Amino acid sequence: MFRSMIVFCLFLVLAATFAPPLRAQSVGKVVDGVERRYNALSALQMGFEQSMEYAGRKRNLEAGTLYLLRPGKMRWEYSDPAGKIAISDGKIFRQYNPNSNQVRQVALASMTDLRAPLSFLLGRMRLRRMFRNLRLESADGMHVLIGEGRGGQDFYSRVEFDVDPADYSITGVRIVGRDESINGYRFSGEETNPTLSASLFEFEAPAGAEVVPLTRSFREVPFEGR
């Protein structure tokens, strides 16, 4: 019995010594699975809940529906607060807040606000190029894929993707800014390749709204202030 236990323990030591790094394999498998899923899509629709935190202060939860259409088109249609909207037509990203009655706009190519890490859904996804130090954790039955910004040009220091291991769908994202702000999203009811009208991505400023001139980014006042 004692000899058998020694042999079994020796087997475990040898297995741990010569086995390939499971963590690295798992990261590669999840990254490849996520990329295969989203790179095959031309359109996407899903519900979202958005939370924001800065310096320990939390804002009220916001919610709505997100529409994505390649190339470069997205529409964040808020039900709470009602009337808030953000639209990209593929060139210009505009957002309107009824509380301020103001339209802010930025060229999509230079966009550096907190939505930027989600822009991978709008084109060919290359997570290994977008992030450094990709690693994998687990929580509540989900893979948590973590990537760090590649340099000072990225507004975020870290992005965490909740990935369903069954189909590699992304069910949540947490974006940690270099200013330690935290923006979180929970996604639900994902519909792949829905038929989306081009008119969804046309923006018309409400009558009487102030339209702020085109700016480089929304970085200074992400999502209409903190």
SS (H, E, C) the chain: CHHHHHHHHHHHHHHHHHCCCHHHHHHHHHHHHHHHHHHCCCEEEEEEEEEEEECCEECCCEEEEEEEECCCEEEEEEEECEEEEEEEECCEEEEEECCCCEEEEEEHHHCCCCCHHHHHHHCCCCHHHHCEEEEEEEECCEEEEEEECCCCCCCEEEEEEEECCCCCCEEEEEEEECCCCEEEEEEEEEEECCCCCHHHHCCCCCCCCEECCCECCCCCCCCCCC
Higher pLDDT, 178 or 12: 178
pLDDT value at position 11?
28
pLDDT over 80 (residue 194) = yes
pLDDT value at position 122?
61
pLDDT value at position 123?
63
pLDDT over 60 (residue 126) = yes
pLDDT band at residue 201, thresholds of 50, 70 and 90? very high
Angle formed at CA 82 by CA 78 and CA 87, multiple of 5 degrees: 40
pLDDT value at position 60?
78
Range 198-203 average pLDDT:
93
pLDDT band at residue 120, thresholds of 50, 70 and 90? low
pLDDT band at residue 20, thresholds of 50, 70 and 90? very low
pLDDT band at residue 104, thresholds of 50, 70 and 90? very high
pLDDT value at position 95?
92
Q: How far apart are CA 218 and CA 198, in angstroms?
A: 25
pLDDT over 70 (residue 14) = no
pLDDT band at residue 116, thresholds of 50, 70 and 90? low
pLDDT, the chain, mean: 79
Q: 168 is written with which tokens?
A: 């590699």
Q: How far apart are CA 32 and CA 44, in angstroms?
A: 19
